[in-house]
Structure 1
């Protein structure tokens, strides 16, 4: 019998301390593959730091956790390879000047070059393009985003998207890599009640299809496994204070992925060139 696609997430006495105090500490969770896990708390309570720590982007200070059986912090790089970030301010944001189609094409090209085998890279161009389009179509379908319904279809700029549309696009980009764990920050930020319900319905459907979902929010739905981060006197009080640490981890991830692949730097440049990225 095949093992579930989603990654289990467990943690005990999990904590992270920054230069100005504890971002969070003493947290625990036990979520199986395909779970919907909500990280609930007020802004500044360490929600984003916890999200990044559980996806291998930040190094915890105390306690331990496992994601897909990979122990943190020892296996941070391996966890990053199975966990994809949706929108996280300061870490994985959409480019407002880029169009929807450009974002999707760039992500598919980078995915092929970073994660594809040498044999896959040597396949005929028409076959590679078709495979990339299949990845894009599947991710868009899972994220519930139909570019044809946008004002300028795929040529619509990110700056012209509604908040929920931008959220769906960010999730689609993350799903192109078929991650075992999807992490989404500020899930319910600036959404109406109806839009908030749509967002949770989307994340619930992704979890139901086998991908474990971690979602930061101000109010968790009743059916989610909930981790609560509440501000305390010794909390540093800023989710964004450690963005530099997260970006450093992202850079390390790229470096580790490209080690031993002589075509990767050229591939990245090609991806940017093909999508028009300056």
Structure 2
């Protein structure tokens, strides 16, 4: 797919404190555009909070950070426009009752409605359909998800997906927006050794294509830019005082049916 140039990510003494204490503190690292960044640490060590802070979804308490040259937290809104979330529990989860097609259609609709230019919205319907379909196909290819191989193709419900298939779908949804930074939480959770290797190979391929990847994990690969969080971190993302995490995409409403049809799905 046509990947934008990745976003450089830096942090210097970055920390975030909530009612239960420090979620993370003294985080310092620098990663070039197109890097694979692995945030390694045990559950409860502030890994998710750090991911949300670096993507502009949480406000750090101390230190400095930049994503794509945009200083945080002052330019958090701008960072959110270039940083997309893959799976993050409680923030950007897949709806188990949706099918693969419904998730793809919804994301394509939201992308066109909220991120498209006025000129793009005035293009002929056929052109809009082709553009949406091309973005979806490119995102699926980059994420390594072949809907035809699923039990019911694109009509397969999320609840029927294997863990690795669900991860690939979440990544594909994020890639539809062509982000400069892709953030993925719990990358290696509940994966077998072979599945874990496949997941990291996927993220390496995305980084190699130019998109910076920020991945939370329990065990980082040696070839990543490794950022470690300590075991003393306190908080669940919802317990932190500061800028709230972005909500998950809304469910389709009455106005989405026609736009869904424009993506060319059955």
**2:224 is aligned with 1:239:** no
Q: Deviations over 1:82-108 (max 9, x none)?
A: 000000000000000000011001101
The structural deviation recorded for 1:230 is 1.2
| Residue in 2 that maps onto 1:137 | 137
The answer (yes or no) to whether the contact 1:106–1:272 under 8 Å persists in 2 is: no
| Residue in 2 that maps onto 1:39 | 39
SS of residue in 2 equivalent to 1:221: coil
Q: How many residues align?
A: 257
SS of residue in 2 equivalent to 1:226: strand
The structural deviation recorded for 1:245 is 6.1
Q: Deviations over 1:230-273 (max 9, x none)?
A: 122xx32x334447967x4426x99xxxxxxxxxxxx9763367
Tell me the distance in 2 between the aligned counterparts of 1:213 and 1:244.
26
SS of residue in 2 equivalent to 1:90: coil
The answer (yes or no) to whether the contact 1:59–1:73 under 8 Å persists in 2 is: yes
The answer (yes or no) to whether the contact 1:88–1:185 under 8 Å persists in 2 is: yes
The answer (yes or no) to whether the contact 2:19–2:240 under 8 Å persists in 1 is: no
Extract unaligned runs of 5+ from structure 2.
262-266
Aligned CA distance change for structure 1 residues 135 and 39 (closer, same or farther; 3 Å): same
| Residue in 1 that maps onto 2:167 | 167
The answer (yes or no) to whether the contact 1:183–1:215 under 8 Å persists in 2 is: yes
| Residue in 2 that maps onto 1:115 | 115
The answer (yes or no) to whether the contact 2:17–2:240 under 8 Å persists in 1 is: no
For 1:271, which of 240, 253, 256 is the aligned residue?
256
SS of residue in 2 equivalent to 1:250: coil
SS of residue in 2 equivalent to 1:66: strand
Tell me the distance in 2 between the aligned counterparts of 1:105 and 1:245.
32
- Structural RMSD (CA): 2.2
Tell me the distance in 1 between the aligned counterparts of 2:141 and 2:115.
22
Larger proportion of helix: 1
TM-score, length-scaled by structure 1? 0.88
SS of residue in 1 equivalent to 2:255: helix
Greater RCO (Cα-Cα under 8 Å, separation 6 or more) = 2
SS of residue in 1 equivalent to 2:51: helix
Q: Deviations over 1:87-143 (max 9, x none)?
A: 000000000000001100110111011111111111111111110000000000000
Q: Deviations over 1:176-224 (max 9, x none)?
A: 0000000000000000000000000000000000000000000000100
The answer (yes or no) to whether the contact 1:90–1:243 under 8 Å persists in 2 is: no
TM-score, length-scaled by structure 2? 0.91
For 1:250, which of 243, 246, 250 is the aligned residue?
246
Tell me the distance in 2 between the aligned counterparts of 1:84 and 1:181.
6
Extract unaligned runs of 5+ from structure 1.
255-266
The answer (yes or no) to whether the contact 1:91–1:243 under 8 Å persists in 2 is: no
Q: Deviations over 1:24-56 (max 9, x none)?
A: 000011000000000000000000000000000
Tell me the distance in 2 between the aligned counterparts of 1:269 and 1:228.
45
The answer (yes or no) to whether the contact 1:144–1:168 under 8 Å persists in 2 is: yes
| Residue in 1 that maps onto 2:264 | none
Task: Map 1:77-88 to 2 at 5 A.
Answer: 77-88=77-88
